[in-house]
Chains A and B, each alone.
Chain A
Amino acid sequence: MALLEIENLQKSFRTPDGRILPVVDVPGFRLNAGELVALSGPSGTGKTTFLHLIAGILAGDSGRITLDGQDMATLSEAGRDRIRARVIGYIFQTFNLLQGFTCLENVLLGMSFGPGADPVRARSLLNRVGLSDRLDYYPRQLSTGQQQRVAVARALANRPKLVLADEPTGNLDPANAAQALALIRELCAEEGSALLLVSHDPSVLAAFPRRESLAILNQASRKGGGL
């Protein structure tokens, strides 16, 4: 059974001049448990919107998203919050660490909305990403590569079934990008989490055996086809 199944998902936005702009129009998409998939597409093709729709941060105009056996459209907002807290780990391009909290607290806070804060696991994860000596540092005291590693630890803290990674290497230099990518893949493999990573970087995409193009997914829809 697929961990994530998408059918006829559509999302459009109204532009400032009043036009309706279709952004996501995916007739079908499946992701199995533990599978690692890279999703490509140039800027502005709706990759982030696609991830937000899967995470329940945005609601689609139509279509169905089934995640971990639950139809996201039928869940209440609190239900979608619960899915985000327990089933999904989210890694952002700009890390989105809370600046007023230390590395350890950022990870603990991510856990607290899910199964509960577990300081032992939080320390272990930060140790795993090579930050055992930075537990009490604030994000501003870390390099960008280190900040991304904290974000990775936070995303994996609740043992999510699905990790969504939005351009996770977009703000990193090539060396740090390679390290971060390897770390994300390793950790997902260790935790048994599926990974849906979006990127426009060919070197990142090349690291994945399964690659999808959001532009092609959308075009398939417009042609009446699907996956």
Chain B
Amino acid sequence: MTLLLLVRRSLRQHLLSTVVTALSLAMAGGLLMSVWVVKRQARATFTGQTGAWDAVLGARGAKLQLVLNALFHLEASPGNVAFADFQTLSSNRAVALAIPIAVGDNYLGYRIVGTLTNLFTEAEAAPGRRFRLVGGGRWFEDGYREAVVGSFVAQRLGLKPGDTFKPYHGLNFNPKEQHEDEYVITGVLEPSNTPADRVLWIPLAGLQNMSGHAAATASDVSAVLVKLRSAVAGQQLDMLYNKQGDRLTFAWPLGTVLAQLFDKMGWFDQVLELVAYLVALVAAGSVLASIYNSLSARRRDLAILRALGARRSTVFASIILEAASIAALGMVLAWGLYAVILGAVAAVIRAQTGVVLDPWAWDPVLVIAPLALVVLGALAGVLPAIKAYGNPVAENLAPES
């Protein structure tokens, strides 16, 4: 009780420096937790998006680019795949399901992807989760100028069944490059928190035969999404396309391919982590400086406490507890800062990729990082505590008579 009272009053007496120091620690804690959680969740969530598919077949090129283009609707397509190649693959006994997609158009910046209706009826939006339409509406009919719109696009552009739109050529929006073809929206997908939410889906033939597209490649597709019957099948097709063949790329296993993305971004994570650690060190230094400087003004109070019978260890402990309390206050603020940072980062990632991060998801770092910083704060209090421990009592009491 005595210690807590001493600490509480000391913090109140030095309120400004307490708040400023706590805020700097909050910044360190918030940054550390955010960097860590974004890194871990992004990796898990991106990798999890591939769960409905086992592999992607595309033109010869980088596997990562192929996967990002076909599954995450990012990057440009590395090239086309002949429709015959799709047919050959889909008839392979090792393949459980093969769905072709074609890209190359957009609507107001959102990608239009041509595919077959069995993407919605036979495949899964995410592992264990089927594609579903929001109340009313229906899937598009192959061969008609109809579209099913992802939930994010529908929400952002205010689209609903019955609305029409004219696609724009290319993956990036250019108002001068609008096609003449007009599509009717037949349904809006239920939110799946996957990249499918950010896409306008139209029949494969619609995209292949869009006015202005090259007739010579009209039957080609951009990539084929593949569900395999077994892991052995993946090895066979890997051998067939990647080692024996030289025209196509078979991206498998997807987890390994996507890991390359995070490996490439590893340096960025390290820089952010380093910044967070440096902020933590600076914040710990500010705890030290703040308490150390305040000791000059508190020498008499400390001497009075000792004259009243307080032990040196009590004085020492009160300083350590004070430093730890400043850090603990900072960590309470850090959780708030973390929620703000992660909310903002999640919004950006969702807008850019359709992948949804959950700022409220449990992660051990949300406890470990604050605890570590409270310990760091307490350690920063050791030097001032030693000074307080050695504070000479007689010298700092009232003037001698």
A: which residues have CB within 8 A of B? Answer: 43-44, 47-49, 52, 55, 57-58, 77-78, 81-86, 88, 90, 92-94, 96-101, 105, 109-110, 112-114, 117, 154, 166-167, 170, 198, 200
Interface of B is mostly: helix
B400 in contact (CB, < 8 A): yes
B: which residues have CB within 8 A of A? Answer: 1-2, 5-6, 9-10, 12-13, 300-301, 304-314, 393-394, 397-401
Please measure, in the bound complex, the distance between the C-alpha atom of A85 and the C-alpha atom of B2, giving whole angstroms.
14
**20 A-B residue pairings within 8 Å (CB atoms):** A48-B398, A48-B400, A52-B394, A52-B397, A57-B393, A57-B397, A82-B309, A86-B309, A92-B398, A94-B398, A94-B399, A96-B304, A96-B307, A100-B13, A109-B2, A112-B5, A113-B311, A117-B2, A170-B401, A200-B401
Please measure, in the bound complex, the distance between the C-alpha atom of A151 and the C-alpha atom of B12, giving whole angstroms.
23
B401 touches A100 (CB 8 A): no
Contact partners of A88 in chain B: CB under 8 A: 309
A96 touches B397 (CB 8 A): yes
Contact partners of A81 in chain B: CB under 8 A: 306, 309-312
Please measure, in the bound complex, the distance between the C-alpha atom of A90 and the C-alpha atom of B304, giving whole angstroms.
10
Please measure, in the bound complex, the distance between the C-alpha atom of A101 and the C-alpha atom of B301, giving whole angstroms.
11
A96 touches B401 (CB 8 A): no
Contact partners of B300 in chain A: CB under 8 A: 96
Q: A81-B311, A96-B397, A112-B5 are in contact. List 16 more A-B contacts (CB 8 A).
A: A57-B306, A77-B311, A82-B309, A85-B308, A86-B309, A88-B309, A93-B398, A93-B401, A100-B301, A105-B5, A109-B6, A109-B305, A113-B308, A113-B311, A114-B309, A198-B401
Contact partners of A49 in chain B: CB under 8 A: 394, 400
In order of increasing CB-CB distance, the 10 nearest A-B pairs are A85-B309, A113-B309, A94-B398, A48-B400, A112-B2, A84-B309, A100-B9, A100-B13, A96-B304, A81-B311
Residue of A85, A88, A109 contacting most chain B CB atoms (<10 Å): A109
Contact partners of A154 in chain B: CB under 8 A: 308
Please measure, in the bound complex, the distance between the C-alpha atom of A82 and the C-alpha atom of B306, giving whole angstroms.
10
Please measure, in the bound complex, the distance between the C-alpha atom of A81 and the C-alpha atom of B393, giving whole angstroms.
12
**Chain B residue at smallest Cβ distance from A82:** B309
